[in-house]
Structure 1
Amino acid sequence: MSHNWILFIYTIVVCASSILFDQTSSPVLLSVIGILYIAVHYAEKRLVAATVLQMSLLIVFHWLSQMDWCLPLYLAQMGKQFYKIRKINTASAVSLLYTITYALISFTYMPYSLYGMITILFTSFSCLIFAIMFYRYIHVIEDQTQLLDNEKKHLTTHDSLTGLYNFEECHRQLDQLVQAKKIIALVMIDCKDLKSLNTTNGFHGVNRILKQAAQLLRIMFPDALFISRYGGDEFAIVVESRDSERTTNMISQQLALEFPKLTGIEINYGMAFYPEDGVSKDDLIFIAERNLYNMKRESWLKREEHMLRSEKLRVVGELASGMAHEIRNPLTTIKGFLQLSKADNYNIGPWYDLIMDEITRMSMLTAEFLQFSRPHATQFKIHPIQHCIQRVISLLDSETGRLGHQILFDAEPQPLHMLMDQDKMLQMLLNLIKNAFEAMPDQGFVHIRLYVDNGSAVIEIADTGSGIPEEELDKIFLPFYTTKESGTGLGLSICHKIVQDHEGTMEVESVIGQGTKFIITVPIAQPEGTGCDMAASEPYVS
């Protein structure tokens, strides 16, 4: 032991004192026994029955030295044995044996007197009491040390919140099972939307849910080889699996049906089987995480599909509501005029034009609504964008002259082609330019630019009109939103839809008092054969 040097020093002190004070009759023999006693302590791991030999040499050493100073050696000898003795009865018997031995040897050299006898008995009894107390003290310390070691081990291998194995211990346990060639199934579990509950339930609320989930997993899988909190809101379970199909059905039943029913939390999970899916720990984890990801992806796609369906229903509801509102107004007007005509002996002459205007308005509204909402057969072909813009300018030539506006067209030197439904593109450009005319009460300019940016064709249509207020820019593409007295609110929505059908984007910029600019970005296509060689190399003015 590491404290043998204390016995070494104390034995030398007792031996030297006995010789110095002339207490021993055989100084040489005493020295030899003392040396042997120390040597046995240092070589005790290599000797059979070292404790019996140490006890025997101590008795001889005490008898030869004839000094009570040997008492600490007895106590030290008992202390060394107490580290190996776990039962209190055995420790008491050993203590009593050493005490009686010490007392008997002390009687051999102590002069007979009542005081001497009482002193020996008191010293022996004190030695016995001290030995028992020392034994209990040693094992209390050992028990506390063992308890702290166990607690430390538990903290390093278990999750502090749920009490399950932590990430590192999960890998360690799984590796041991694989090394032992256990036929197992690894299940990786991810709780859906648990992080979002932080905002509603708070941090402590989510922790409580995690504890409940861990406790429920223990109940649902009592025969699991281990259950681990893999990290965050993820868990890992390892179960024995003699029949992979049966194990899959059992786990799916518990996790897909029972767990959400009891906790209100839906989960994703992925499984991997040893040795079918992999022969190493990392293989099993990879397969299980891949299957978990696939289930997450399927769940996410279903949710997106549901959200898209809900969004479509919401849009349909808004369109239907807007359409009903827009049609109800002219119908109310027509109804009023018919009621007036009844009072005038069914003479509708004074209101005929107004009634026809309202009917025309309803026809135009329903036609635009059908065009906006109903899919039409499209004829996509590759055409030069310049041709399309120049044709629109030609169609608007008379109206441009009548209103006193001018159209400026700047284009790339080379033709830019795109896959388009030419009629739809013409309709979109006509709507935007007509809107520009209406936004300019006085004579103004409409500037059209066509250029290439990041591999896409960009069409800019800018006017010098009054502009659109910033708070209305986000609403102009909404169906039925209009600032015109006679508008239907579907024109820009139809333009926006046409651009989207051509896989493009439409943006708007506007400054009050300076004008508005629409920016349409569409993909460029390679022309079939030679294509069209008509290009606007110089600015076109109408």
Structure 2
Amino acid sequence: MSYNWILLLYASVICTSSIIFETTSNPLLLIVIAIAYFGVHVIENKIAGASLLQIGLLIAFHYVSEMDLCLPLYLAQMGKQLMKNHNMRSVTAISLLYAVSCALVAATYIPYSEYGIFTLVFSTFSCLVFAFLFNRFIHVMEHQTQALDNEKKRLTTHDALTGLYNYEECHRQLEQLVQAGKSVVIVLIDCKDLKSLNTINGFHGVNRILKQAAQLLRIMFPEALAISRYGGDEFAIVLEYDNSQHAMNTITQMLASEFPKLTGIEINYGMAFYPDDGTSKDDLFFNAERNLYTMKRESWLKREEHMLRSEKLRVVGELASGMAHEIRNPLTTIKGFLQISKSDNYNIRPWYDLIMDEITRMSMLTAEFLQFSKPHASQFKVHSINDCIHRVISLLDSETARLGHHIEFNASPTPIHMLMDQDKMLQLLLNLIKNAFEAMTEQGQVRIRLYQADQQAVIEISDTGEGIPETELDKIFLPFYTTKESGTGLGLSICHKIVQDHEGTMEVESEAGKGTKFTITVPVSQPESSSAMMPGSNRMTV
């Protein structure tokens, strides 16, 4: 129900009560005044001086009705006036006007007595108290409304976590600075590896780091025109400058040295200067983001290089440790026999064969290690894989017959060619087939299958040996890992390296008690490309 209808309802009640209780001497006039009072409220926006007219009609209505019930109408009318005028002098004047008017009208019909005087004083005091409380209420409401408006504006322009400007406000601030023609630099900052800290410190810990970073940026750049949280772990700073080179050196010193030192966070950053790097806000952000991406890429390449160097050092350490361990065992044996011979004046002949076996083992181990680790030139030419496999089978004829094994070769319908170092491919196939022979303690069968899948040649070598335990499959290509009593542990590592040098892959499948299958996949070549490949086919493989 609207304000005017409440006034009509209340005025009707007063009017009816005055007529019923016969307090009015002119009921018709009272009704006319009530209707006029309500009408002025309805069309007050169309009447000049409507407020004074409303006061006059209210006084007339009170005077004719002679009802103390009119006090709420005075209060409602006064509240309406106070809503429109918040000046303290005006509030005081309006309050006194209504209080005095109510008291003077009431004095015309209230009998002169203690109760009458009390009623007049109470009515006057009620008007003044109401005016004070209503004015206080309006001020509180306005203050709260202003606070809510300020908070709403702050939330729409600032980041809730760090208190810095948000993404939209950063763009808006830079747009205004560019339009004003100020020489400014925009700096975009990206915190490295901050997202990965979520798994270590949790998001509460990362939020704390972001708050600390925001606070530090405020301290480091107090003259900044704008500092904002540009994204999840990205910040943006807008600075005014006089000399671009000096500004670049200062910012670089702060961000590359001071910021990581104080926070422990490595950062990437990119800068763009107005008007040197762009004449619009979008141009500046584009160039700054491009410079940031360039720095990210350089940082990533340096990290990859460092990781590769560390991995190489780790592998060298493992190879050196394995090599030292493998050589130390035969040296210990030889040293023991020589010490016994010297101390007891024994003839060394009974142990001569054993000593020579250990020396041969060291020589073989050294040769394989050099073959595995030393860079060597390889002659790559296009050859038939079919011919290469047939040659390996021929070389192993005598050994196959001696051990009682059988080799079955399922060749492809048409010859398959590849760019290869033929000697290395022969070594690869010989090693795998000999390993298969050693895995079969009784008479067994080695199956070789060659076929082409798309532009890849696939060579499968399987045996019916004892197989490799599943727990050891991931280790068989590691240098110096072996399950043989007399093995060096470099055979399969060398095979794996030969396949990698030919840009291929090597996989193994095995089941204990049923056998093992090695699958080699290498790219194929056309036979007619052999002559074209020969001049430039020397590769240095590592």
TM-score by length of 2: 0.85
Deviations 1:366-401 (A, max 9, x none): 111111111101222222211222222222223223
Displacement, 1:459?
A: 0.8
Structure 2 CA distance for partners of 1:137 and 1:331, relative to 1, 3 Å: same
Displacement, 1:443?
A: 2.5
Q: Distance in 2 between matches of 1:224 and 1:530?
A: 67
Displacement, 1:299?
A: 2.1
Structure 2 CA distance for partners of 1:93 and 1:327, relative to 1, 3 Å: same
Deviates more, 1:216-225 or 1:359-368: 216-225
Corresponding position of 2:127: 127
Which amino acid letter does the alignment assign opposite residue 442 of structure 1?
Answer: E
Displacement, 1:217?
A: 2.5
Does residue 476 in structure 1 map to residue 480 in structure 2? no
Deviations 1:181-212 (A, max 9, x none): 77654444332222333343334333322222
Structure 2 CA distance for partners of 1:280 and 1:3, relative to 1, 3 Å: farther
Name the SS for the 2:377 alignment partner: coil
Corresponding position of 1:312: 312
Contact preservation (8 Å) 1:24, 1:66: no
Structure 2 CA distance for partners of 1:136 and 1:211, relative to 1, 3 Å: same
Corresponding position of 1:447: 447
Which amino acid letter does the alignment assign opposite residue 481 of structure 1?
Answer: Y
Which amino acid letter does the alignment assign opposite residue 363 of structure 1?
Answer: S
> Equivalences for 1:324-473 in 2 at 5 Å?
324-343=324-343, 348-473=348-473
Name the SS for the 1:312 alignment partner: helix
Structure 2 CA distance for partners of 1:206 and 1:529, relative to 1, 3 Å: closer
Structure 2 CA distance for partners of 1:248 and 1:327, relative to 1, 3 Å: same
Which amino acid letter does the alignment assign opposite residue 378 of structure 1?
Answer: S
Which amino acid letter does the alignment assign opposite residue 435 of structure 1?
Answer: N
Corresponding position of 1:504: 504
Corresponding position of 1:540: none
Deviates more, 1:177-186 or 1:93-102: 177-186
Corresponding position of 1:539: none
> Equivalences for 1:221-260 in 2 at 5 Å?
221-240=221-240, 245-260=245-260
Corresponding position of 2:189: 189
Displacement, 1:45?
A: 4.7
Give the paired residue count: 530
Q: Distance in 2 between matches of 1:277 and 1:19?
A: 86
Deviates more, 1:53-62 or 1:217-226: 53-62
Deviations 1:510-539 (A, max 9, x none): 2222221111111122333588xxxxxxxx
Q: Distance in 1 between matches of 2:530 and 2:213?
A: 68
Displacement, 1:502?
A: 1.1
How big is the alpha-carbon RMSD for the aligned residues of Structure 1 and Structure 2? 3.5
Corresponding position of 1:491: 491
Name the SS for the 2:414 alignment partner: coil
Deviates more, 1:445-454 or 1:202-211: 202-211
Contact preservation (8 Å) 1:96, 1:128: yes
Structure 2 CA distance for partners of 1:24 and 1:513, relative to 1, 3 Å: same
Which amino acid letter does the alignment assign opposite residue 198 of structure 1?
Answer: N
Contact preservation (8 Å) 1:505, 1:521: yes
Displacement, 1:266?
A: 1.4
Deviations 1:24-76 (A, max 9, x none): 67966x77766665455445556666545544554455456555444323212
Name the SS for the 2:528 alignment partner: coil
Deviations 1:461-480 (A, max 9, x none): 11222222222222211111
Corresponding position of 2:539: none
Contact preservation (8 Å) 2:381, 2:530: no
Which amino acid letter does the alignment assign opposite residue 381 of structure 2?
Answer: K
Corresponding position of 1:537: none
Q: Distance in 2 between matches of 1:204 and 1:92?
A: 54
Deviations 1:137-192 (A, max 9, x none): 34334434544554455556544433344556656666676777776544443322
Q: Distance in 2 between matches of 1:50 and 1:276?
A: 63
Q: Distance in 2 between matches of 1:185 and 1:285?
A: 10
Q: Distance in 1 between matches of 2:52 and 2:291?
A: 66
Structure 2 CA distance for partners of 1:403 and 1:113, relative to 1, 3 Å: closer
Displacement, 1:274?
A: 5.7
Structure 1 residue runs of 5 or longer lacking an equivalent are 532-542
Corresponding position of 2:538: none
Displacement, 1:353?
A: 3.3
Deviations 1:237-256 (A, max 9, x none): 44456665555444333332
Which amino acid letter does the alignment assign opposite residue 301 of structure 1?
Answer: L
Structure 2 CA distance for partners of 1:223 and 1:499, relative to 1, 3 Å: same
Q: Distance in 1 between matches of 2:46 and 2:249?
A: 60
Contact preservation (8 Å) 2:23, 2:65: no
Corresponding position of 1:79: 79
Corresponding position of 2:322: 322
Q: Distance in 2 between matches of 1:145 and 1:334?
A: 96
Name the SS for the 1:402 alignment partner: helix
Which amino acid letter does the alignment assign opposite residue 385 of structure 2?
Answer: I
Name the SS for the 1:513 alignment partner: coil
Structure 2 CA distance for partners of 1:212 and 1:17, relative to 1, 3 Å: same
Displacement, 1:435?
A: 1.5
Contact preservation (8 Å) 1:458, 1:521: yes
TM-score by length of 1: 0.85
Name the SS for the 1:448 alignment partner: strand
Contact preservation (8 Å) 1:273, 1:284: yes
Q: Distance in 2 between matches of 1:523 and 1:263?
A: 51
Contact preservation (8 Å) 1:192, 1:266: yes
Corresponding position of 1:535: none
Displacement, 1:275?
A: 6.2
Deviates more, 1:97-106 or 1:11-20: 11-20
Q: Distance in 1 between matches of 2:467 and 2:326?
A: 26
Structure 2 residue runs of 5 or longer lacking an equivalent are 532-542
Which amino acid letter does the alignment assign opposite residue 220 of structure 1?
Answer: M
Q: Distance in 2 between matches of 1:15 and 1:48?
A: 27
Deviates more, 1:85-94 or 1:376-385: 85-94
Which amino acid letter does the alignment assign opposite residue 370 of structure 1?
Answer: L
Structure 2 CA distance for partners of 1:384 and 1:208, relative to 1, 3 Å: same
> Equivalences for 1:211-222 in 2 at 5 Å?
211-222=211-222
Identity over the aligned pairs, expressed in percent?
A: 74
Contact preservation (8 Å) 1:18, 1:24: no
